[in-house]
Structures are given as structure tokens and as C-alpha cells.
């Protein structure tokens, strides 16, 4: 009887040691074979901590006869885009004036005055408001564009052609969930030097179903009188 009691106590001691170890092994194995599905959200949170969506993080100094600008596309569907002119945030999440699709700011090419800004949902919205906006841009206006989440589903040939006429080389290629930033002008007779584009590619994406965010900055010469 005493030997059986001793054996039972020994088994209990072994169980107290082995059970926690087995649980740790099981939990670790499950995490390995079934990683969290919100890794894109965690990744974009890290981006936000490094590159605030609410400030003009890149300060650009330009000659007096030029305008400075900074554009950042959205990151996945979590971090909104931003557009800065003369180091002032004109369009951004903190201003509550960005949205899914194509985000645009237009400025007077002579004075730097902000003329118009807007965002056009190219997934759940319609393309006509974007076309109307593009047609209303006056000659001599500088146009700054940033994509967010999904910029292309509702784009048609007319909208793409109007953007191409502003100097875009990539608009004919922009597709589902691609990242795109662009600076052009109404009346521009050549292709813009300020444009970046990256295709949504599952094998290369940084944020699972979205490519990495893009940014571009520079100086725009003022139009002469």
C-alpha cells in the first residue's frame, strides 16, 4: 500500500513538471502553423509610428521661384495618404479630408495658392465626379495625387486619358490596389518627372494584399507671368 502511495506521489510530481512544458510546446506549435492574420495591420501600425500620418515629416527647402511639395500614398487600407505644399499639410488623415481611391490637390502654378482638393472612391463610388473634377482644372494648375487602398476599379478610359494629359506615364497601368503618387500640371507638354508606381503583387507585397506605400518630394518651378 505504501509503495502504491509513493508511486502515485511520484507520478503527480512528474505531471506537475511535464504538463506545463507540453502546453508551452503545443501553444508554440499552433502559433508557428497558424500565424495571426492581422500582420498587415501590425505592419502598418509600425509604419505609422515611424512616419506620422498627421505631419509633413519631410521638410523641403526650395528656391524662392519654386514650390516645395511632399506626397505620401496610403499604406494598405489602414494609413491614409498625405499631401504637403510648402511644408504645410493640405490633405491628410488628421484633417479628415482623405478617402479610399484617388486623393487630389490642385494649386495655382504662379502663386502657390491652394485651389481645390478632394478624394474620389474608385471602389464603391462612381468615376463621374472624378472626371468632372479633372475637367474643371484650369490651365497652369499644378496637380498632386496620392492613392489609398484601391484607386482603380472604377477608372475608365476617359478618366485615365485626362490624367495622362496632366503628364502621368503610369495611369494607364494603375490597377487594383496598386500604390501610386504623381505630380503633374494642366497644360504640361511633357511627361512628369514626379511619379512613382508599384503594382499589387502577392509575391512581393509588403502589406499582404497591398504593396508598400510610396512617397515623392521635390521643388516645382513657378509659372512665369
Give the chain's residues under pLDDT 70: 1-54, 224-225
pLDDT at position 30 is 42
Residue 93: its pLDDT value, please?
Answer: 93
Grid look-up 485651389 returns 115
Sign of CA pseudo-dihedral 89, 92, 95, 99: positive
Predicted local confidence at residue 7, as pLDDT: 54
| pTM score, whole prediction | 0.77
Instruction: Work out whether strand 66-72 and strand 114-120 pair parallel, antiparallel, or are unpaired.
Output: unpaired
pLDDT of residue 189: 85
Q: Say how far apart CA 67 and CA 115 lie, in whole Å.
A: 15
Question: What is the predicted pLDDT for the residue at 98?
Answer: 97
Output the pLDDT for position 29.
38
pLDDT at 59: 79
pLDDT of residue 36: 37
Q: What is the pLDDT of residue 56?
A: 85
Amino acid at each position: 500500500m505504501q509503495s502504491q502511495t509513493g508511486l502515485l506521489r511520484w507520478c503527480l510530481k512528474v505531471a506537475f513538471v511535464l504538463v506545463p512544458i507540453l502546453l508551452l510546446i503545443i501553444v508554440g506549435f499552433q502559433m508557428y502553423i497558424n500565424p495571426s492574420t492581422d500582420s498587415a495591420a501590425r505592419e502598418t501600425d509600425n509604419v505609422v509610428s515611424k512616419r506620422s500620418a498627421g505631419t509633413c515629416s519631410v521638410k523641403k527647402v526650395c528656391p524662392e521661384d519654386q514650390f516645395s511639395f511632399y506626397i505620401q500614398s496610403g499604406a494598405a487600407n489602414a494609413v491614409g495618404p498625405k499631401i504637403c505644399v510648402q511644408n504645410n499639410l493640405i490633405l491628410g488623415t488628421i484633417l479628415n479630408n482623405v478617402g479610399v481611391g484617388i486623393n487630389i490637390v490642385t494649386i495655382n502654378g504662379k502663386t502657390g495658392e491652394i485651389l481645390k482638393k478632394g478624394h474620389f472612391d474608385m471602389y464603391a463610388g462612381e468615376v463621374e465626379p472624378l472626371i468632372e473634377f479633372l475637367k474643371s482644372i484650369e490651365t497652369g494648375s499644378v496637380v498632386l495625387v496620392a492613392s489609398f487602398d484601391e484607386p482603380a476599379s472604377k477608372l475608365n478610359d476617359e478618366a485615365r486619358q485626362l490624367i495622362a494629359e496632366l503628364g502621368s506615364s503610369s495611369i494607364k497601368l494603375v490597377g487594383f490596389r496598386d500604390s501610386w503618387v504623381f505630380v503633374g500640371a494642366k497644360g504640361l507638354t511633357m511627361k512628369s518627372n514626379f511619379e512613382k508606381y508599384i503594382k499589387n503583387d502577392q509575391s512581393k507585397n509588403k502589406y499582404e494584399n497591398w504593396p508598400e506605400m510610396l512617397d515623392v518630394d521635390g521643388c516645382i518651378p513657378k509659372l512665369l507671368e
